[in-house]
Amino acid sequence: MRVFTVIPARGGSKGIKGKNLRTVGGVPLLYRTIRTARFAWLDHWNKLDVAIGQNLTANGELTVSTGLPIVSTDNPKIAAFALRCGAGVMKRPKKLATDTATTDDVLLDVLKKLGEDARPWNSDDFLCVLQCTSPFTTSGDILDCLSKFAYPVTASAFTVTRFRKFLWAPTPHAPRGYEQPGPRPIVLKNAPGRVFRQDFPVQYTETGGVYMVRIPEFLRTGCRVCSPCAPVVVEPEWRGLDVDEPADLELADFYAARFDGQVLAGPAGRAAAGHRRVANEG
């Protein structure tokens, strides 16, 4: 079995300038992601149940070949920082570093380059995609996604948080008699009676933190989320935070002290005692 970990990290960002190198709790987002990836494969592999490994591999042996996490970027500063943090770097073409380029397009580019030196992809080859702007992803989240492939039919897995809220959408046309200027009102046809939040049917929203997919299925569909798919619930809900706006950075800083205290207290955390020194060198 082979798992290829890819971290997309382009230089441009509209919401937050230089977002992927911005710090949360004094640690750059990119470093957090690289650290999490390396811990998943180096420090926590033995926590996977052997039965899972037997289902995942053709010969029944619990084996994995991961190599370094690969950072796909168009930015020299990000590339240099990623190398210092112990990741591999793959240069991203300019056409895939625009606001309109999709993550799946970037992943296809990475696999095309990897495939030049790799044997043909099979169902035991996986693509693991980690998002820099999810600072509270853990190595456990990654391994929980991998464990979902104990079922041979699973094509992809990804992290989610539970969602129990009222949803409203603006109507395309103003209701009759509503002639005030400004945004159109929100109208919900056949609005259900108000219910208690705990009585809502459980729904899930993607965190973007971790995606994992069988490579042949990804190449067949061109999408990292393909069916049958398996969600991995992230708890508590704040761990699903996606840093996209300046206010998200402030919120992430608030949670960082709690998160880092828990993560760095474990075996993997003690191995990263010097993470702030490395981060500050960036």
- Residue 263's CATH number: 3.90.550.10
Is 58 within the bounds of a domain? yes
pLDDT of residue 106: 94
Which residue range is the domain that position 146 belongs to?
Answer: 2-164+203-280
214, 125 Cβ separation under 8 angstroms: yes
Is 103 within the bounds of a domain? yes
Is 248 within the bounds of a domain? yes
3-state secondary structure of 108: helix
Report the alpha-carbon distance of residue 100 to residue 241 in Å, rounded: 23
Name the domain count of the chain. Answer: 1
Global pTM reads 0.81
The rounded Cα 147 to chain-centroid distance in angstroms is 16
At 35, the pLDDT band (50, 70, 90 cuts) reads very high
Question: At residue 186, does pLDDT exceed 50?
Answer: yes
Is 177 within the bounds of a domain? no
pLDDT of residue 181: 55
Is 186 within the bounds of a domain? no
Is 196 within the bounds of a domain? no
Which sign, positive or negative, has the C-alpha torsion 88, 93, 94, 97?
negative
Q: Which of 26-35, 110-119, 253-262 shows the lowest mean pLDDT across its residues? A: 110-119
Question: At residue 133, does pLDDT exceed 80?
Answer: yes
pLDDT of residue 50: 36
Segment 69-85 mean pLDDT: 93
Is 86 within the bounds of a domain? yes
Report the alpha-carbon distance of residue 130 to residue 7 in Å, rounded: 5
Question: At residue 207, does pLDDT exceed 60?
Answer: yes
Is 169 within the bounds of a domain? no
